[in-house]
Chain A
Amino acid sequence: MPKTNPLRKYLRKDSLPHFFCPGCGAAQVMNFFLIAADDIKLDFDKLVAIGGVGCTARIPVYLKTEALHGIHGRTLPWATGIKLHNPELKVVIFAGDGDAAAIGGNHLIQAARRNLDVTMIVVNNLNFAMTGGQVAPTTLQDLVTTTTPYGNREEPFDLCQLAISAGATFVSRWNTHRSYQAINAIKKALQHKGFSLVEIVSQCPVNFGRRGIGTDDPGKCIQWIKKNSITLKKAQELPKQEKTGKFILGNFVEIHKPIFEGSSIYCEQGAK
């Protein structure tokens, strides 16, 4: 009897086959999420998966759950309306670095500040992959993309530091090489009450690897990410200049604060 992947039951059959390129990190992260969700027995009837536009944003299209997809950068506003109206729903956002750090950047800051009770999984593949490999706010300096033919002249964003500064209550960064830690971080984030962000540095062999680091081999791309990643503990011992261009991995923040329930809450006189 042919074996079926046990996680296949979570997939929306009429959306398959998926559109990810061979070796794509976003597909790997979808797998991470399903392993984590299966492990904590997430109720898919009460789950809303949200994607904006981009490769990562396609993940919700393949999940057999309530799903919302198709507008670039507006995942968190959707999530805000959903969570305020029905706090019982679990909301998970799948965002690429374009959705999260470029067009949707302000929404990220505000949702973190409010401690909106959602999980945001950011697949950071360091470029605008779906549109053909343009430079992103996360692209490292000097790398070649389709809109930085002479090398990127901009400083890259550190999404995790941004989320922490804005008030996010769970923040973690791993990469596709550290699958065990990434799955664990997603699991923790899903169980966290408040705004949780898990960034996963990920390979895009076709549109980033080829131009940015000179290889379209997924394995070599992952090796490049591995080589440029350091743990939080190690980073604390290194001088600043040696951390430039490195992906610092770890669970940065896990704290508890009241969650967002609306901008105006009525309470009886004297009550708090």
Chain B
Amino acid sequence: MLGNHAVVEGALAAGCNFFAGYPITPANEISERMSERMPRVGGKFLQSEDELCSIFSVTGAALAGGKAMTATASAGFNYMQEGIGYAVAAEIPCVIVDVQRCRGENYATQADVMQMRWGASGDHELIVLAPSSVQDLFDYTIKAFNLAERYRTPVIVMSETTIALMREKLVIPNADRIEIINREKPNVAPEEFIPFKAGPDGIPPLPAFGDGYRILHSLNPHNEYGGINWEPDVFESMYTRLIGKIRHHCNGIVQTEKYFLEDAQIILIAYGSEFRPALDAVQRARNNGIKTGLLRLITIWPVPEKEILAVAKQASAILAVEMNIGKYAGEIERVASGLCKTVRVNKNRGFIHTSSEIYSAIEGVVQ
């Protein structure tokens, strides 16, 4: 199946019942398949007038009780930052797929990795997942919905041209074998419900519009009752909770994969489609007797700090492999904080690394 189509099937398997998208290459196959599939499963499809309409109609549908998603590509992702920031501050569960592209066309890149995290103004935390195959696009779109519903926050699926336009084998499990998480709704009557008061996990329940709770949702600083309030204490405690509900749950959110790490001295860190040539290069190095390993980051935001730190303590050198000018490497260097040598392995010309290129980088560190 085509990667973009796997995203659609994953979303529908997760219970997505609202999709909005504005035409942009290389994300169009998501919209096109959604326009065909969504009305047949009782959901709604909107071809929006622009990406702002996409992201805001998605947040509107989500507050009306829907499970909503939009998809775009890098240039369109720019426009969505306003809506993503709103969704974080107003705690609206939704999913955004960004199929990264560069050179103004469908060329391969991971250049939006920082925009995923820092695109919106104001303080926030974001959950971003980095699939590396067609199967991942299916699996992690479902996971994105589950995380969004669990933590009441937007979740971004960081797709890439490489995998979005790739055809690969996809296994779709039976529905009863797919874990689905739905948002918690209030279990008290409207007059007793305090809409932004959270329990110890920091995540308040979310009723749908029309359930009778009459909640005011606003980007402006709001107190536990939802009333707009400009007091510094209200602002500070609101953002402390918003940030904390992600940071305190890193263990439940972060997902990585470890390859050949046991005795590894040279450790590669890669995410997204770059994981594929990186793994190939590591296997080749192993065959040639070089003690190499690979840490694959599936969750790239929040940063898997514990896992990166463990690698930094073990390795003599870390190679940060990326398809951009070297962006996430800064995070890896921050966490490694001088515990080992760090090397940036970058390629920024619209093509994925070959495994030979990465292998050469490993050899370069050995010598």
Contact = CB atoms under 8 A, between A and B. Distances in A.
Contact of B210 (A70, A84, A89, A266): A89
A14 B217 contact: no
A15 interface: yes
Interface stretch (B31-39, B158-166, B338-346, B348-356): B31-39
5 contacts: A76-B53, A80-B20, A80-B57, A85-B64, A85-B66
Nearest to B213: A66
Contact of A86 (B68, B209, B215): B209
A214 interface: no
Given A81-B18, A106-B49, A264 B39 contact: yes
A12 B60 contact: no
A34 interface: no
Interface of B: 17-18, 20, 35-36, 38-40, 44-50, 52-66, 68, 82-83, 86, 90, 208-210, 212-220, 223, 225-228
A67 interface: yes
Interface of A: 12, 14-15, 44-46, 48, 60-61, 64-71, 73-74, 76-82, 84-86, 88-89, 106-107, 110, 261-266
A86 B210 contact: yes
B220 A70 contact: yes
Contacts of A263: 35, 45-47
B40 A79 contact: no
B49 A88 contact: no
Nearest to A265: B39
B86 A107 contact: no
B64 A74 contact: no
A84 B52 contact: no
B53 A107 contact: yes
Contacts of B18: 81, 84-85
Given A84-B57, A85-B61, A12 B227 contact: yes
B239 to A, nearest CB: 15
A15, A64, A66, A79 pick with most chain B CB within 10 angstroms: A66
A45 B210 contact: yes
Contacts of B213: 66
